Amino acid sequence: MATQAVRIVRQGAITQPGRFCVSPDTEKLSMQDQELIALANQAREKAYAPYSRFLVGAALLTKDGKVFQGCNVENASYGLCNCAERTALFSAIAAGYRPREFEKIAVTGNTEAPIAPCGACRQVLLELGGPELEIILTNLKGDIKTTSAGEQLPDAFYLQPD
């Protein structure tokens, strides 16, 4: 994986309603996590977002060490758009990986606080990654929040596939 410097900002709790805290342990990110964030930033640059101009990138690490990048892809019919997180996960599934064969995913966008996945992505992250899937949320300023798929979608909807 290509390495790139990642600026890590330490922040305290954000007290505005509806906002979340940035992890106080961000300076402890592993080199692997920093590389994953760099790859998510790289994927962001490939996004096709001519309508919203809101570019999002993701980098998904499999348990055997392979990385799948994803970016958001828009369409004039907004219902046909796809988010970066789902693009990365769907690419991995299309390449032969099965649900829960993923270790972590980094997601980035140009947001004030670390980006937050949409509801559809939270459901897909949970089903394909499992509740323990580590999620690293970041932004272009270098703010970082680490969480899990289970934390992102409490009281989730589950079906048992055949």
- Tens-place pLDDT, residues 125-148: 999 999 999 999 999 999 999 999
Could you give the CA distance from residue 151 to residue 118 in angstroms, rounded to a whole number?
A: 14
pLDDT band, very low/low/confident/very high, at 157 (cuts 50, 70, 90): confident
Give per-residue burial for 129-162: e unless 16+ CB within 10 Å, then b. bebebbbbbbbeebbbbbbbbbebbeeeeeeeee
In the prediction, which pLDDT does 11 show?
35
- For residue 85, indicate whether it is catalytic: yes
Exactly one of 27, 45, 74, 85 is catalytic; name it: 85
Q: Looking at residues 115-128, what average pLDDT do you find?
A: 97
Q: Which two structure tokens, joined as six digits, stand for 21?
A: 């805290």
pLDDT band, very low/low/confident/very high, at 13 (cuts 50, 70, 90): very low
Q: Looking at residues 59-85, what average pLDDT do you find?
A: 97
- Tens-place pLDDT, residues 18-66: 334 444 444 678 999 999 999 999 999 999 999 999 999 999 999 999 9
In the prediction, which pLDDT does 27 show?
61
| CA–CA distances in Å: residue 37 to residues 59, 63, 119, 120, 146 | 7, 17, 21, 22, 12
43 with 59: CB under 8 angstroms?
A: yes
- Tens-place pLDDT, residues 88-99: 999 999 999 999
